[in-house]
Amino acid sequence: MLKVARWPVLVPTLIAGALVTISACADATSVSSPPSHGVQRPAATASPQPIRYPPTTKADLKGLAAMGNPAAVHEFDSESGGLVTCPQPKREVTVDPSVTGQQLAEDLLAYFYAQQLDNPCGTLVLAYHDPSEAGNAFTAGSINVNVTDSSGASNVDPNATGLKYQLTLDIGPDGANQEFIVNY
C-alpha cells in the first residue's frame, strides 16, 4: 500500500505515463480507407518544372538565377531614377568578356535577385565589359524591368496591387538580337 506522503510525487508521474500511453494508442489507431479493389494510385507529388533557357516564366528566371554567380557581376555605379515616392534603381555593372550566353544570363539574374532589384517601380541593369564603356550602349547585356498598374500605365505606387511586370533580359551587346522577354 502506498503511503500518503508519496502521493504528491507519484500523481504527476502517473498522469504523464497515462498521457504517453494515450498518445501511443492514438498514433497506432488509424482510419482505414475503403478498399482499392487492386487499383493502386500513385502518391501525389509535385514534380519540379524544368528550368528553360531562354526563360519564358518567372520560375525560369529564378531558376537560372539560382545557377548563377552574383559575385561574377561587379557594380561600379548605382543611381535611382523615377519618382522619389517610387524610385527606379539603375545599376551599371561589369562582367568578364569570356562570360556569354546562358552563363551570362544566370550571373546577371543572380546579381539582380541578390540585390533585390525586382522592384514594383521598375529597374535597369546595364552590363559592360569595362567601366569606361559606360554612357554608351551596353556591351555585355542588360536587364530592364517595366511595371504597369491595373490600368496599363507605368506604375508610380510601390504599394500598388495587380501589377504587371515585363522583364527584358538582353544577352550580348545592344542590338545583337539576343533579347528575351518574360511577363509576370
pLDDT at 41: 55
Report strand pairing: 179-183 vs 141-148.
unpaired
pLDDT at 129: 97
pLDDT at 126: 98
Ordered mean pLDDT values, 10 residues apiece, the chain (184 residues)? 43 41 42 49 65 96 98 97 96 98 98 97 98 96 97 95 97 91 98
pLDDT at 34: 46
Angle between helices 101-114 and 58-67 (to 10 degrees): 100
Ordered structural domains, the chain, with CATH: 58-183 (3.10.310)
Number of H helices, E strands in the chain: 3, 6
Question: What distance in Å separates the CA atoms of residue 72 and residue 82, rounded to the nearest whole number?
Answer: 28
List, edge to edge, every strand of the sheet that includes 179-183: 74-82, 87-94, 123-128, 141-148, 164-171, 179-183
- Quickly tell me which residue has 541593369 as its cell: 125
Phi, psi of 179 (to 5 degrees): -110, 130
Residue from 130, 90, 97, 125 nearest 111 by CA: 125
pLDDT at 65: 98
pLDDT at 63: 98
Give the number of other Cβ atoms within 10 Å of residue 55's Cβ: 22
pLDDT at 90: 98
Burial 65-89 (b: 16+ CB within 10 A, else e): beebebebbeeeeeeeebeeebbbb
